[in-house]
Amino acid sequence: MNLLFVLYDEWSQQRSHVDGVARELCGRGHDCVVAVPRGIAGLTASPTLTALPLSRKYWRARLFGDSRGPILFTIGTGEVNRRFHDQLVSVSSFKIIIH
């Protein structure tokens, strides 16, 4: 599965919400991307976990190895995430899980 985790704040503030889960899912063969609006310092990507700034320019390119969009999209609440959702929905279809 292609999993896209979108954080609403910097990595240091949101790490506990996604780090262990994403790395475990990567270890089970899933393709994971973590999108962070700012402050990605301290986020060390593994060979399977990709971390990107929440910037529009990154979402035009294909994010996942199989060139498909996310089939699961995790998103926190807030204006940052709403705007990102609106941008992504125009280029990809996905299911949404709100945490």
The Cα–Cα gap between 82 and 31 comes to: 23
Amino acid 22: pLDDT: 84
Domain boundaries, given as residue ranges, for the chain: 11-40
CB-CB neighbours of 50 under 10 Å:
19
Report the half-sphere exposure of 28 (CA within 13 A, side-chain side): 9
Amino acid 41: pLDDT: 67
Selected residue with higher pLDDT from 3 and 48: 3
Per-residue pLDDT of 32-43, as tens digits, reads 888 887 766 666
